[in-house]
Structure 1
Amino acid sequence: MNSSLARRACAAAVVLAATMAPAVAAQTDDSRGTQAGTAAPSDIGAKARLLGERTVPHKLSFRGTTVGGLSGIDRDPCTGEYVAISDDRSMLQPSRFYTARIAVDGDGVDSVDFTGTHPLLQPDGSVYPALSTGGGKAVDPEEVRVDPRSCDYWWAQEGERPKSPDGTVIQPSIQFADRSGSYRGQLPLPPNNEILGGDRGLRRNKAVEAITFGADGSVLTSAVEGPLLQDGPEPTLEHGAPVRVTQQSRNGEVLGQFAYPLEKIFTAPDGSSTYPPDTGVPAILAHPGDPSRYLVLERTWVSGAGFKIRLFDATTRGATDVQHMDSLKGREIVPMRKKLVVDLDDISLSSVHNTEGMTWGPTLPNGEYTLVLVSDDNFSEDLATQIVALGIR
């Protein structure tokens, strides 16, 4: 570590107290575009502008399936098309993915045309059963990435932590499949990315939901959606929480694990729903030119206020490797540094929906990257499958 980096790391070190408040209360200071109390690092600081948006018809019928629940998307370098995964847990049709042509340029999203769909298959070649009937064999698909080396599909599913102790546990997994959805293998996950007994391991519906390839496909980075049970409580109005980001080789070796500081809840619920605020990291995307740098999507829902979708530029450079720390409470660590890129409330979208997936699109003639976002409509009339294109520089 060079001396300037060491000084930044020392300045950013925090103690994760039992309440987690000091650990991840690193709020984004919108006036400076950086975490409060932290100098703006030169290695992060992307900016974004809206190019355009397009909405897919609700419950569009395509080749005998219902298009919806799109919670992950990636651009296919072999075809220039896109692949999107549905989080339908085989309740409407078997768990599946779609391919699509999405025309994105400097003028926005010109069209979205679905070109194919395939079910995700188990090792024995069968489709995955519905959660209500499949027991431990059911899956909850959340993310898909195209292997930059083989153009096969890697996909993440967050499993199921049952509400009752006698329920069936479904462990999360990162699997890889060929382009027709046939099972080809599975990446071993670190032990702390599993659903464990008692007050340890992954929370319910807060498991492995985000994956991305970096370093030309030699590194697979994953992020859990929320803090591990032993790492402390989830974000509140007063404080944020740490989310573990893990870098692995293609054979599963853990190269590093880091604490990403998730923002606190942005506003109080209005009491119109029995559901509490919900926040987490549904997607992470490696920067094309820097394997330690990521775009991180934070999605928050609060009753009465709806969705807040924020995109951050973050880096593992200088952050503490926490892979051997069973709990982060009371530990002195340096978290990942991050800087706000855009809040979707601030860019004149027609509406902000349940955005859960993102991928790099084509590079524009002016050198800007394009970023393509997709929202998960949960197959609900109140939400939409929205494709948003941003220019990133």
Structure 2
Amino acid sequence: MGGELPRLHTPTTTTTTATTAKLKRENHLKTKHDTAFSKWKILIGASDWVDYEAKKEGAERYRVSNLPKVCSPGLYEIGVAVCLSGSGRDLETERIVVVYLGQADNVRSRLQEYGRTGSHLVHGFGLFKDIFSTGFPIVYRWAAMKSKSDAERTESELLERFDYAWNKIGNNARRPNDVLSKIEKISSRNYKIPKIMKMLQSLGEQKVGIQIQAEKLSIGNKPKPSYEENLSLFDRVFKFSRSQPRLVSTTNSEDLNQTQVCGVISSDGTSCSNPPVKGRKRCSNHKGRRLNSVVFINSKNSSRKHNVVVHDKVEVSSVCGVILLDGSPCTRSPFPGRKRCEEHKGMRIINQIMSKSSILKSVTDSVHHCGVNLGDGKCCEKQPVKGRKRCEQHKGMRVR
């Protein structure tokens, strides 16, 4: 009868906040909060509790030496290290199953509770004992926080993003069987992956989760990873060094009371003892000249003793080098712009039997002369007797 048609009730869509599915922590090796945590360390070895109860010599209930060195509020992660030994030296991130996240006003004391009794993770659950039966240790790492409230807030943020298998807060139930399955899967890999392969494999992996802000402790107690751990893969693989070898003295610089001098070898075979021009290596007379030795003089008594230090590689071209009648090379300095001295200009070294090393030895030997003061202001330039510091004429005499 002309009545109105009934209205069709269309279902109204209710706007709901899409919650991101939690990530199972044991399935992710690289997280954004890694850099805030310390290195992994063993808390309890697989047989530590048994050995301690049996009163074995040297046995301890937990690794006291591995505890944090300071008492500070913070976060801690507990994991299972699927390692080959209980020493802790072969802890590898890819073989650690992270199972629990916690916070405490004093992380050191809290970890001690786990070490002594296992705390709530043992009482009523026996989670530690299941792990020890596999033969693997319990490990931990931690991050310091400013206060307990900061630790609680950060813990809550991480638990909203990750599902830790042993945590109950925010989860439906604990997942101990998932942990054992993960351990079995990792331990079945009998082969060891080379480091370069690990780095290449991690190239495509992206860090997941959230970044957290850790408290920086004083030097020596800062629970941050080492510099090598913070290097990116590119920095590790493509690391070049532009440093060059340097001549380094093995003597303490405070005890070395020596002054560098010009050192250019003059035509008479003696070295120039004038001080270098400021900012240069040579004196004003020899600026721009090459040097075949580095000469230092004792600043306390420069007239008595000359200490000559010869480079490992002497440039033979910095001396004339023409072979003389006695078989030794000419040690005079070359004429400016030439390879030979004034006397031998234009001559070639035709004696090819003598090698550069032999010439070098002769040049070095010529620098180490007798050195005894002859009284007229000159020093004896004769060759020392083999095995001695002085020539035959002056053997036993001191340099005055």
TM-score scaled by length of structure 2: 0.23
**Between structures 1 and 2, the one with greater strand share:** 1
Structure whose CA Rg is larger: 2
TM-score by length of 1: 0.23
Which is richer in helix? 2
